[in-house]
Amino acid sequence: MKKTVDLGDRKVTLVGTAHVSEESRIEVREAIEEIKPDYVGVELDEDRYESLREGSGWEDLDMLEAIKSGKGYLLLLNLVLSIYQRRIGLEQDSKPGEELLEAVKASEENDIEYGLIDRNINETLRLAMKELSLWEKMKLFSSSLVEGGEEIDVEDLKNDNMLDTLVKSLEEEFPSLKKVFLDDRNRYMAENILEQDFDHAVVVVGAAHVEGLAEELKKDIEEIQAYEEDRGLSIPWMKIGKYGIPTAIVSMIIYSFYTGFTEGAISLGIWVIANSLLATLGAIVARSHKLTWGTSFLVSPVSSINPLLPAGLVAAYVESSLNPPTVKELEQIAEMTSYKELWDNQVGVILLTFVLVNLGSGGAAIISGIFIFMNIVLGF
């Protein structure tokens, strides 16, 4: 798929690829050699480029340090998405990302300036997790663990009708992901492209970005920058919920004791039991060590009122200490093609422990908060 955008005094030819297609790799090289642009933009950032070029990744990861630094959700989201892409890619003649490396290689061979125009992958994943609602997070991770689905002809992804269908489906099911992975990155890449000095540029991106990126390129760079500034002023609802819910529940428990010891004991009991049981259930479903189960049971009621120390973080830390992943397991996770394999790999178990214990604890906070409120107001 190719689309040329006329910017008046210069042009941009967008080359849409399927990311896992040998035909895409060939098409990228042919476009660069035929057009002979004076600039090539590639849908990569420095981290992804180094990972693709060197073949490094999970085997170099310090799991314990990554979880302690708050990257647990990012790691699992990255893993879920990469497994999906790899399941498609293994059926093709090329590995995911080879056509992007081909764009860099062709640029170097033809002495053409090139740039990595995408937002850093870790920042994109962080924004995705920030934008996803609790319901969307639960739906995303639960649906990703169900095998099956229709097989997709990768080359069909470059067909406009198929592409529109996929994007529409993504928008309906996970509007936050569509916004972060497509819309926001289109604006980010457009800004990077427009800041370059060229007469005719070739920009290599995934097919899903072509139409949106073309529209963004027609805007003034000031308009794109203004949007990003307005976006930064949005109300941080997730942060408000993260700190507001525990504060509200603690306040209700204290108020319950103020109205009477029995009422306070009931409210506190609901909080402790709900947190302990649901967090432990999460650890059990993750198939973690029994000592991790016990840790989740004991820690969740306390950690749930401290947003800086989530129960899943403590449970994952304990699981990592009890059963640290081997080098072999770190290498194997980079080749997974099935979500079921997560439970057979200690890296997957640690990540599942982190997420499922946090989901259990978060669900318990909401459920117990509702019951405590009803107990105060209605006297249940």
Six token digits for residue 263: 């009422």
Using the structure block, give the residue that is written with the tokens 């995934």: 206
The pLDDT value recorded for residue 168 is 52
Rg (CA), the chain: 24
At 4, is the secondary structure helix, strand, or coil? strand
Task: Check whether 326 has a pLDDT greater than 60.
Answer: yes
* Six-digit token string for 175: 């509007």
Distance CA(101)–CA(90), nearest Å, equals 18
Q: Is 39 helix (H, G, I), strand (E, B) or coil?
A: strand
Global pTM?
0.63
% of the chain beyond a pLDDT of 90: 23
Percent of the chain with pLDDT over 70: 70
119-148 pLDDT per residue, tens: 887 787 777 777 776 666 666 666 555 554
Average per-residue pLDDT in the chain? Answer: 78
Q: What is residue 318's three-state secondary structure?
A: helix
Specify the residue for token string 């892409």: 85
List, for residues 244-267, the tens digit of each pLDDT value: 777 888 888 888 888 888 888 888
Query: Tokens for 278?
Result: 């649901």
End-to-end CA distance of the chain: 62
Alpha-carbon span 277 to 268, nearest angstrom: 14
Please spell the DSSP secondary structure of 100-122, one letter per residue.
HHHHHHHHHHTT--EEE-SPPHH
Per the model's pLDDT, the better-predicted residue between 99 and 225 turns out to be 99
What is the predicted pLDDT for the residue at 161?
37
Whole-number Å distance between alpha carbons of 228 and 226: 5
pLDDT tens for each residue of 153-185? 544 444 443 444 445 555 666 677 778 888 888
Closest C-alpha to 189, from 173, 172, 210: 210
Nearest of 213, 198, 218, 221 to residue 7 by alpha carbon: 218
At 62, the pLDDT band (50, 70, 90 cuts) reads low
Whether the per-residue pLDDT at 57 is higher than 70: the answer is no
97, 139, 315, 348 alpha-carbon torsion, rounded to 10°:
-40
What span, in angstroms and rounded, lies between the C-alpha atoms of 370 and 208? 42
Longest dimension (CA), the chain: 81
Q: Of 319, 379, 380, whose CA–CA distance to 352 is shortest?
A: 319
